[in-house]
């Protein structure tokens, strides 16, 4: 899912950094219990959302670091080194794979579509998409620009289909 917002470089690096710092702080303050592991995961997810670097596997990392085995516990704050190294390796792998397969990664903001007044007053606009996404009480890993591009492409295919039926 290289185009998803949760798989972008800032989400990977920021997510793992937030999760490891929060988990190690919680483990030092509250100890290594199941309750503190759950608290660390929840706090890490809230911090990631606030910093706009949500990466769900990092929530699992917070649990893992709090409930780690004795060897990892003995590493204390040095446990961040392999965590961040793994995040960097994951990012480099994503860059290499996507460049080899010619998929644009990291995803760059879409060029703004030319503002065209809808011919039909019932046509969906970019503002309609933003409002609809805000109305949904769930996180959807898609941008309004991506949805608008999808709708325009769908409309184009529908027009081509209807024109081909007229001439066939």
* Per-residue pLDDT tens over the stretch 40-81: 999 999 999 999 888 888 999 999 999 988 888 888 889 899
Same domain, 96 and 158: no
Residues for the chain: how many in total? 168
* Claim to verify: residue 75 and residue 142 sit in the same structural domain: no
Same domain assignment for residues 20 and 67: yes
Print the domain residue range for 95: 5-100
80 in any annotated domain: yes
How far is the C-alpha of 110 from the C-alpha of 113, rounded, in Å? 8
What token pair was written down for 13? 């690096």
Q: Is residue 153 part of a domain?
A: yes
* Together in a domain, 64 and 134: no
Number of other residues whose CB lies within 10 A of the CB of residue 83? 20
| ∠ Cα 104 46 6 (to 5°) | 10
Total count of domains within the chain:
2
Helix (H, G, I), strand (E, B) or coil at 69: coil
Q: pLDDT tens digit string along 114-145?
A: 555 555 666 777 777 777 777 777 767 777 77
pTM of the model: 0.64
Q: Is residue 156 part of a domain?
A: yes
Check whether residue 10 and residue 80 sit in a common domain.
Answer: yes
């Amino acid at each position: 899912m290289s185009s998803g917002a949760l798989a972008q470089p800032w989400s990977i690096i920021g997510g793992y950094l937030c999760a490891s710092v929060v988990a190690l702080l919680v483990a030092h303050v509250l100890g290594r219990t199941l309750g503190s592991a759950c608290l660390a995961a929840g706090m890490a997810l809230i911090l990631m959302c606030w910093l706009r670097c949500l990466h769900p596997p990092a929530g699992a990392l917070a649990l893992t670091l709090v409930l780690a085995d004795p060897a990892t516990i003995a590493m204390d704050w040095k446990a961040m080194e392999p965590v961040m190294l793994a995040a960097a390796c994951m990012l480099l792998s994503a860059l290499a794979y996507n460049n080899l397969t010619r998929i644009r990664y990291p995803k760059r903001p879409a060029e703004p579509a030319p503002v065209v007044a809808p011919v039909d007053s019932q046509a969906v606009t970019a503002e309609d998409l933003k409002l609809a996404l805000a109305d949904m009480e769930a996180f959807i890993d898609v941008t309004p620009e991506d949805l608008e591009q999808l709708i325009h492409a769908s409309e184009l295919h529908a027009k081509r289909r209807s024109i081909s039926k007229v001439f066939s």
